[in-house]
Amino acid sequence: MKTFLKTTAAASLAASLLFSAAMAQELAPLNSDTEKDRIDWSQLEAKLGAMPKLPEGTKAGAVSKTLTNEYWRSLGEGYKKFGDKLNVSVAYQAAQSEGDQLGQLTIAEGMITQGYNVLLVSPQTDANLQPVVEQAKAANIPVVNVNDAVIPQAEHYVGNVQRDNGVRVAQWFIEHRPEGGKVAIVEGQAGVYAAVQRTNGFKSAITANNKFHVVASVPGNWDRQTSYDAATNILQQNPDLIGFYANNDGMALGIVEAVKSAGLQDKVAVFGTDGISDAYTSIKAGELTGTVDSFPILTGEVALETALRLAAGQKVPRVVATPQALITKDNLARYQGDEAAIRAVLMEDAAKAK
């Protein structure tokens, strides 16, 4: 009976995806890293003006991957902070795990019928919430795709340039390990836009320097234990490895444990992505070499601001790019403090980047 139900649910999801794809041909598939219709988060007010007045009782619904990962909890904190600032109610829900695609779809579809004025979604995969985009459009509810999987037919996306995550880490290796050597990648979920782009960014940047060789690129599926096991195998086969790049911090921290178990912590650099608090703690302890922080609380604030501007009738570029920074022991102090201080630092970074 369980097998029958799973098969029926999977068939239903597949049918929904086919219907959605057929109904959404007028919009070019979104590549959030290269989309030309974009604006930097730091320019929202300068280019679009102050936040317009919202109708009394405006409500936002938000659906995340899972709350077991600190990154997604922090994103929700950003939604709440900005909602509280404007007296906007925010309901934030998530699937039970990062593999619960059907559960996440059910939550998102339910929110469409519950009277929310805007919907923010962070999909499990590039495809599993695509039906929601069409359902929300039919109900005249603006949808914002928020990091890190990308729905091809999403009309609006808020998040960082995923490819740049990997490029930044590769540049660190090129600068700090000029003699080169063997490196390995532990990837996120197969086929997910963010995992693909982060991996490709690192791989292309580091192999352009012919002193480096990527000896392994294996899935960690966003899971710490899986990544520990993968790293253990890679180190056994390549005891002269000089570094790892992981697509998120949870996986990177699993890799750190594998490196320590092998007694190679003084030889193998390990980088992650996300900037969760455990990553900062590990960097301070001299274990994790670095992380590409994508500032999830600020990202949540920017995403809700974007959604509410849309709900108020403003035209907003298809992509709103959010900040990121490579954090190591050398600059860690600069990116710590309260949210207002961090926002000020990131505004400085944005001004320098112009």
**Same domain, residue pair 96 and 200:** no
**Same domain, residue pair 119 and 200:** no
pTM for the whole thing?
A: 0.90
CB contact at 8 A, 88 and 80: no
Q: What are phi and psi of 114, to 5 degrees?
A: -105, 15
In a domain, 183, yes or no: yes
Question: For residue 4, what are the CA distances in angstroms to 9, 28, 202?
Answer: 9, 36, 42
**Same domain, residue pair 134 and 168:** no
| Two structure tokens written together for 26 | 């007028």
Mind giving me the DSSP string for 178-190?
TT-EEEEEEE-ST
**Same domain, residue pair 49 and 137:** yes
Question: For residue 57, what are the CA distances in angstroms to 35, 115, 161, 287?
Answer: 33, 10, 34, 48
Displacement of CA 227 from its chain's centroid (Å): 18
In a domain, 3, yes or no: no
Ordered per-residue pLDDT tens for the chain, 354 residues: 444 444 444 444 444 444 444 444 578 999 999 999 999 999 999 999 999 999 999 999 999 999 999 999 999 999 999 999 999 999 999 999 988 999 999 999 999 999 999 999 999 999 999 999 999 999 999 999 999 899 999 999 999 999 999 999 999 999 999 999 999 999 999 999 999 999 999 999 999 999 999 999 999 999 999 999 999 999 999 999 999 999 999 999 999 999 999 999 999 999 999 999 999 999 999 999 999 999 999 999 999 999 999 999 999 999 999 999 999 999 999 999 999 999 999 999 999 997
CATH number, domain with residue 121:
3.40.50.2300
**Same domain, residue pair 48 and 92:** yes
Closest alpha carbon to 186 in 225, 148, 147, 237: 225
| Residue 274 domain boundaries | 162-293
CB contact at 8 A, 304 and 78: yes
Residue 216's H or E segment, with its range, is: strand 212-219
How many domains are contained in the chain?
2
**Same domain, residue pair 89 and 61:** yes
**Same domain, residue pair 112 and 155:** yes
